[in-house]
Structure 1
Amino acid sequence: MYDMNHLKKLGTLGKHAENAMKAFQSLDKEALDDGTIPKKYKELIAIAVALTTQCPYCLEIHKKHAIEAGATQEELAEVTFVAAALRAGAAVVHGTHLMHES
C-alpha cells in the first residue's frame, strides 16, 4: 500500500482540488520554513509527529529535509525515543479511563 511512487499522484490530486491543494502547500511551506524555530528543529518535530502517526511518506520526506538542515544520526535517534515516550505516555494516561475511583 505504501509506495513512495504514489507521491507522483499529488499533481493529479491537486488538479481535482486545486484551491485546497494550494492552501495546503502554502500552510506546509509557512509552517516548516525557518523562523523563530529553526528549520532543523521543525523537521525534527515533524519526524516525531510522523513517527507518532506512523506515516511512512512523512518519515521519508522529513528525514531528508532534516538531514539537509543539518540533523545528525544522533538527533534522529533521540527524536525516535521522544516519539516513543509520548506514545507510551499517552497509553498510560488513557489507562486512567479504565480505573474506577477508589
Structure 2
Amino acid sequence: MYDMKQLSKLGSLGKMAPAAMEAFQALDKAAMGEGAIPKKYKELIALAVALTTQCPYCLEIHKNHAVEAGATEEELAETTFIAAALRAGAAVVHGTHIIK
C-alpha cells in the first residue's frame, strides 16, 4: 500500500479538488519556507511529526529534505528520540485521566 509511486497520483487528486489542493500547497509552501525558523530545523520538526504520525511518505520526504538542508545523522537520531519521548510523555500525562 505504501509505495512512493503513489505520490504520482497527487496531480489527479488535485484536479478533483483544485481549490483545496491549491490551498494546501500554499499552506505547505508558507509553513516550510524560510522564515524565523531555519529550513533545517523546520525539516527536523516535520520529521519528528512524521515519526509520531508514522506517515511513511512524510518520513521519506522530510528525511531527504532535512539531509539536503544540512542535517546530520546525529541530528536525525536525536529527532527520533525527541519524537519517542513526546509520544511516551503523552501516554503518561493522559494516564492522569484514568486514575482517581
> Normalising TM by the smaller chain, what interval?
over 0.9
- How many residue pairs get matched? 100
Residues 1-16 of structure 1 aligned to structure 2 (within 5 Å): 1-16=1-16
- Aligned-partner residue type, residue 18 of structure 1: P
Note if 1:20 corresponds to 2:26. no
Partners of 2:65 and 2:54 lie apart in 1 by 17
Residues 19-58 of structure 1 aligned to structure 2 (within 5 Å): 19-58=19-58
Percent identity for Structure 1 against Structure 2:
77
Equivalent position of 1:71 in the other structure: 71
Task: State the Cα distance separating 1:34 from its structure 2 match.
Answer: 1.2
Give the TM-score normalised by structure 2: 0.98
What residue ranges of structure 2 are gaps of 5+ in the alignment? none
What residue ranges of structure 1 are gaps of 5+ in the alignment? none
- Aligned-partner residue type, residue 2 of structure 2: Y
Equivalent position of 1:84 in the other structure: 84
Partners of 1:34 and 1:74 lie apart in 2 by 23
DSSP-derived class of the 2:85 partner: helix
Partners of 2:64 and 2:23 lie apart in 1 by 23
Partners of 2:8 and 2:22 lie apart in 1 by 16
DSSP-derived class of the 2:35 partner: coil
